[in-house]
Structure 1
Amino acid sequence: MSEGPPKTAEELFRFLDTLGIEHKTTRHQPVFTVAESVALRDEIPGGHTKNLFLKDKKDNYFLLTVEENATVDLKTVHQLIGAASKVSFGKPDKLMEYLGVIPGAVTAFGAINDKEGKVKFVLDEALMAFETINCHPLSNDQTTSIASKDMLRFMQATGHEPLVLKVTA
C-alpha cells in the first residue's frame, strides 16, 4: 500500500474507526451529479451533500459542502468565506492534488488527503442541522453516512478547523 495520497475509501473507513466514529456505507452505481444520486434518497436517510471546489484570485482554495438542493450565490459567497476576491471553480488537477478525488466524487472527506492545509473547508449551517449527513467516501460509487457532529471531529482530526456558516440562500 502506498504511503502518499490519495487515500482509498478503505483507508478512510479505518481512520474513522480509529476515531471511534460510526459510519455506514452504501455501495451503488457511480453517480456524477446530484440529479443522478436522487434515486438513492429512499435507501439513505439524512442530509445529502453538494460540494463546490472553489478558488479565489490569490489561489486560496475552498470546499463548500452544502445540502444537495441548496443554492450558493457565487457572486457574493467570497464575502462570507474570507476569500480574497470573487471565486471560481478550481481545476480538476488541483482537486486531485489537494483532495485526492476526481470531479463527481468531491467530498468533505477529501480533508484526509489535504496534508498541507491548502483547502479551507466550509460546512453550511443548514446541512449541519441534519443529524446524519451523507458524503462520497473519496469515490462516487458509494455513499457514507456519518453524524454531522462526527464530521466536525473528523475534520479536526485531519488538522482542519472547518467553518460552519450560512452560505446558502
Structure 2
Amino acid sequence: MPKTEAELFAFLADLGISVSTVRHPPLYTVADSQSLRGEIPGGHTKNLFLKDKKDNFFLVSVSEDAVVDLKQIHTIIGAASRVSFGKPEMLMELLGVIPGAVTVFGLINDAERRVKVVLDQDLMAHAVVNAHPLTNEATTSIASADLVRFVEATGHDAAILKVSA
C-alpha cells in the first residue's frame, strides 16, 4: 500500500526537515501549475518516469521549463538503452502515484530501490524546490539540500547531473 501524504510529512519531520505546503485544485501538467507562479517561490519541478529496454526505471526531476532530449538522455543517466515513459501501472507500483502526480517524494514508496533518481543540476541550483507531496492537489516546498537528505534517507543515491539543455 503506498504511503499517504501524512506519512510522507511524518517521515520528513522525523528527519528534522521543515517543509511548507500549499493546497490547490488538481494540477496535471506544468501548464496547469504555472497558474500558481508568484504564490509559491522557488524552483518548480517537471518529473519524468522513464524506463529502458532492460526494465531499469528512472525518475528524472528537472525545472518545469527545462528542455530534455529524450533521444540522448540515456547516455547521461546511465540507462542501458534509449528510454521511454514508464507505464502508469509501474508508476503506481514503484512510486505509489498516478500520472500527473509524479514526484521525487514518491521515492518513499520505492522500498526495493528499483528507481534511480536523477536531479537536474539547474533545478538543484534553487534554494527551494517545489514538488507534489504524493498528490497533485498540493505543492510542497523543501530546501534543495533537504531534498537530497530526503532522497538519501529513502535509500536512494541522489545523482545530481546536467540533464536539461
TM-score tier (shorter): over 0.9
In 2: Cα distance, 1:156 partner to 1:46 partner:
21
After TM superposition, the structure 1 = structure 2 runs for residues 1-169 of structure 1, keeping only pairs within 5 Å, are: 5-169=1-165
Partner of 1:64: helix, strand, or coil?
strand
CA distance in 1, matches of 2:158, 2:116: 7
Deviation at 1:138, TM superposition (A): 0.2
Letter in 2 for 1:148: S
Q: Structure 1-normalised TM-score? A: 0.97
What SS does the corresponding residue of 1:58 show, helix, strand or coil?
coil
Q: Distance in 2 between matches of 1:118 and 1:162?
A: 14
Aligned-pair CA distance for 1:46: 0.1
For the residue of structure 2 that corresponds to 1:149, the secondary structure is helix
- Aligned mates of 1:42, 1:9 — CA distance in 2: 24
Q: Any idea what SS the aligned residue of 2:70 has?
A: coil
Shift of 1:157: 0.5
Task: Tell me how far apart the structure 1 counterparts of residues 37 and 117 of structure 2 sit (CA, whole Å).
Answer: 25
Unaligned ranges ≥5, structure 2: none
One-letter amino acid of the counterpart of residue 148, structure 2: L
Alignment partner of 1:66: what SS? strand
Task: After TM superposition, give the deviation of residue 41 of structure 1 in Å.
Answer: 1.1
- Report the residue type matching 1:13 in the other structure: F
Point out 4+ residue stretches in structure 1 off by more than 4 angstroms: none
- Distance in 1, matches of 2:43 and 2:164, equals 14
Amino acid at match of 2:123: L
- Gaps of at least 5 residues in structure 1 are none
For the residues of structure 1 that align with 2:55 and 2:25, how far apart are their CA atoms? 34
Identity %, equivalent residues? 65
Matches of 2:34 and 2:75 in 1, distance apart? 31
Q: Distance in 2 between matches of 1:45 and 1:14?
A: 23
CA-CA distance at 1:162 after TM superposition:
1.6
